[in-house]
Structure 1
Amino acid sequence: MKVLKKLLFVLSCSVLAQSAYAQQASDGVVKIGILNDQSGVYADFGGKWSAEAARMAVQDFGGKVLGVPIEIVSADHQNKPDVASGIARQWYDTEKVDAIMELTTSSVALAVQGLSKEKKKITMVTGAATTDLTGKQCSPYGFHWAYDTHALAVGTGGALVENGGNKWFFLTADYAFGYSLEGETSKFVKSKGGQVLGAVRHPLAANDFSSFLLQAQSSGANVIGFANAGLDTANAIKQASEFGITQGGTRLAALLFTLAEVKGLGLKAAQGLTLTEGWYWDQNDENRAFGKRYMEKTGRMPNMIHVGTYSTVLQYLKAIQKAGTDATEPVAKLLHEMPVEDVFAKKGKVLPNGRMVYDMYLFQVKKPEESKGEWDMYKQLAKVPGDEAFLSVADSGCQVTQ
């Protein structure tokens, strides 16, 4: 009888242990989705290269969390909110994805964050720019890493106004991201005593910017601000160079431009551009070491979107490990509380609205004769402290935590 009771006790303990284990890591795997543009104008900006950075984070974490494997899945949303929402819904409902990250394109990020809020799932955005993600459309489960339109406006906009670029004309992508970037930069330019002389909207993936550039040139502006990204910005800058616009003294402000696009455009066309990024491979030994590892895997150096995605995956896994579960509520709570300290951000902090605050940097693209190597493209002009670069919760418009 005693042996039977002992056996029943052992069996009951085993059942309880298995139950607790199931609660710790649901479905026997932690699955992270990287959802972004992998075939369109932002394919180099983030694309499959962000998925590679996510896999590096998993590898560096050890491949498992809470004793179960970590899996990265990825998909191309084609810059279409309905396509992205359909993929996200399928991932959540049938493929048991625990969190979705990257989310290039603001309209896509807003749509997926909204769906994720309904389903109580975590999103960590690195590829989209709109401040609405942590503003009027914020979510208790939504986090915004890497950059946003306010940080870009403070960095690039502020530097040019302070250096005589006080008359602006915008070429703006005709969707949420473009409006937000134009609006944020316009406010900042005006607050510094500058003027906005006009703006023109262009469709996503435009090929011919000639009429837009002529409007900008005839406005009398001394700065043309490109409130777009990816190939749109690269093509507009290339055509502006071909038209000789900068030879007349007009400056070009690439409000969202990263190392990937500078490399694609080339130093001859991109030289002199002022831009803001949150990370550059040649800033210090730690960044150089990471860049070398990434180069060995991909054949290219990473930009802030790629390394930002690495950071989000790593931070998410750290939160799961600390929480002892992959359940959304405790993990989201820790993501708000934990400092961010990794190769991407130093002394980073996450505000109650989900905005990760860290220092940004103002760079100028080198002239061809200044470059010492294939990826030697930037010279750092200034550091923009995080508390200046990003909006406070009170100024963000987020009502969730107010």
Structure 2
Amino acid sequence: MTDFNRRTLLTGAAATAAFGALPTWQARAQAANTVRIGVLNDQSGLYRDVNGPGSVACVRQAIQDSGVTARGINVEVVVGDHQNRPDVGATLTRQWIDRDNVDVILDVPTSSVALAVNTIVRERNKIFLNSSAATSDLTGAQCSPNTIHWTYDTYMLAKSTGGAMVRAGGDTWFFLTADYAFGHALERDTSNFVRQAGGRVVGGVRTPFPGTDFSGFLVQAQASRAKVVGLANAGGDTINSIKQAAEFGLTRRGTKLAALLMFISDVHSLGLETAQGLVCTETFYWDLNDRTRAFTRRVLPNMPGGSLRPGMGQAGCYSAVMHYLKTVAEMGVPAARASGVDTVNRMKAQPTDDDAMGQGSIRPDGRRIQPSYLFEVKSPRESRGPWDYYKLLQTTPAEEAFRPIAEGGCAFLRT
């Protein structure tokens, strides 16, 4: 997916190709009123179902729902596969910004890729709307005035899921950690909450990313006699870890699994028979309320297979684009494109509100805050039908869900 024409989906300006080239003056006017959004994610690997084409579908739905095309604003969407490699993600980002005039980089699962994108976007004074990379360093040590961290992060996941497990008696932990930036950050943040609650981390192992065979690591986890095995991984790694733990009989021996980042597509892949009883934290669930159900009905026909329910990373893409396009419409395209920092500051100055993620706000450090939800996966008997997978255990208010701004150490706030 390196050719620009193959990676570009046009919305608003799409009719141009059907009716021939526009006159020069009209083409210039259209170009002056066009914004370009680059959706950068895993289109072919272990995060494909978590993000991939589903994120693109949610972005296109946001463009339609925003109504900006009726106001004469053209929106072009460029799609790229970063293959979960920082070098590939960095190369695409530079090409998009320097050659293809992309204004916004969006989504970017895999924290190592996101941290690379974060640096480039700041250098070019563009915008990074991160929906799917989890590292809390994006609003801490690596914070940027050009970046908004939208959907979730390792601090929030650790506090909600990790905290719940400790309160339920899981006071000794062993970590299976994906060996890259996201896994390290999730293990770090969860370990801090375990220790603060009086628990202990008795061991851990760094697993290759991506991984397929976790059996040897699970033997080490069992030998540690930890009450909880924390899975500091995601996507296919989480699915394989849980399946192999079930096959190995780890949970039958009394050990609890803490899926520190799990998506509804993971539950679907596992099946309720295997996933039942697991707890996870999300900021979106398609069946949470009337607004989330309405959003899901609109986007569902364009989701992969016409049946995959959007997960929180994909819903976050919708929410972020809705707020960005609202800001573009208020500022005007030339002003919004002129400075990424100015546009981000404008986005921070007003509350967010959309059907997918509901109401929220964006802090000065770029952290979008909203409530987080702790869910338990239903048993097959409890489920009422397809994709009815979660029951809500608790809600953490927005002001408590994420790391306090004073604890993040965001450097640009001090300058």
2:291 and 2:356 in contact (8 A); partners too: no
8 Å Cα contact 1:292-1:301 kept in structure 2: no
- What corresponds to 1:400 in structure 2? 412
Q: CA offset at residue 41 of structure 1?
A: 1.0
Cα offsets for 1:62-105 (capped at 9, x unmatched): 25286231111111000011101110111011111110100110
The reply on whether 1:364 has 2:376 as its aligned counterpart is yes
Query: Which residue of the partner structure matches residue 168 of structure 2?
Result: 163
Distance in 1 (CA, whole Å) between partners of 2:31 and 2:398 is: 36
Single out whichever of 317-326 and 121-130 deviates more from structure 2: 317-326
CA distance in 2, matches of 1:345, 1:35: 21
Question: Cα distance 1:336–1:241, how it changes in 2: closer, same or farther (>3 A)?
Answer: same
SS of equivalent residue, structure 2 residue 143: coil
Whether 1:83 and 2:88 are equivalent positions in the alignment is: yes
Q: Structure 2 residue aligned with 1:330, among 336, 342, 347? A: 342
Contact 2:127 2:341 in 1 (8 A): no
The CA distance in 1 between the partners of 2:327 and 2:256, in whole Å, is 44
Report the alpha carbon displacement of residue 346 of structure 1 after superposing the two structures with TM.
3.4
Amino acid at match of 2:95: Q
Q: Which residue of 1 aligns with 2:195?
A: 190
Instruction: Work out whether residues 271 and 366 of structure 1, in 8 Å CA contact, stay in contact via their aligned partners in 2.
Output: yes
Shift of 1:216: 0.5
- Aligned residue for 2:373, secondary structure, equals strand
What's the counterpart of residue 345 of structure 1? 357
The percent of aligned pairs where both chains have the same amino acid is: 49
The answer as to whether partners of 1:161 and 1:189 remain within 8 angstroms in 2 is yes
Deviation at 1:297, TM superposition (A): 2.0
Match of 2:220?
A: 215
- Provide the residue aligned with 2:231 in structure 1: 226
Question: Structure 1 182/329 Cα, relative in aligned 2: closer, same or farther at 3 Å?
Answer: closer
CA–CA distance in 2 between the matches of 1:286 and 1:239?
37
Instruction: Give me the TM-score of the superposition, normalised by structure 2.
Output: 0.89
CA-CA distance at 1:344 after TM superposition: 3.0
Cα distance in 2 between the residues matched to 1:51 and 1:40: 16
What runs of 5+ residues in structure 1 fail to find an aligned partner?
1-17
Number of aligned positions between the proteins = 381
Q: Which residue of structure 2 lines up, in the alignment, with residue 238 of structure 1?
A: 243
What is the aligned partner in structure 1 of residue 15 from structure 2? none
8 Å Cα contact 1:27-1:96 kept in structure 2: no
Is the Cα–Cα contact under 8 Å of residues 238 and 262 in structure 2 kept in the other structure?
yes
Aligned to 1:373: 385
Query: Which position in structure 2 is the counterpart of 1:309?
Result: 317
Amino acid at match of 2:331: A
Residue 388 (str. 1) matches residue 400 (str. 2): yes
User: Considering only aligned residues, what root-mean-square deviation do their CA atoms show, in Å?
Assistant: 1.5
Question: Using a 3 Å threshold, how does the CA distance of structure 1 residues 63 and 264 change in structure 2: closer, same or farther?
Answer: farther
Which deviates the most, 96-105 or 326-335?
Answer: 326-335
**Normalising by structure 1, what TM-score?**
0.92
8 Å CA contact 2:143, 2:412 repeated in 1: yes
CA deviation profile, 1:166-221 (whole Å, cap 9, x unmatched):
11100000000000000000000111111111110001121100000010011011
Secondary structure at the counterpart of residue 373 of structure 1: coil
Counterpart of 1:379 in 2: which secondary structure? strand
Unpaired segments of 5 or more residues in structure 2? 1-24
Alignment correspondent of 1:6: none
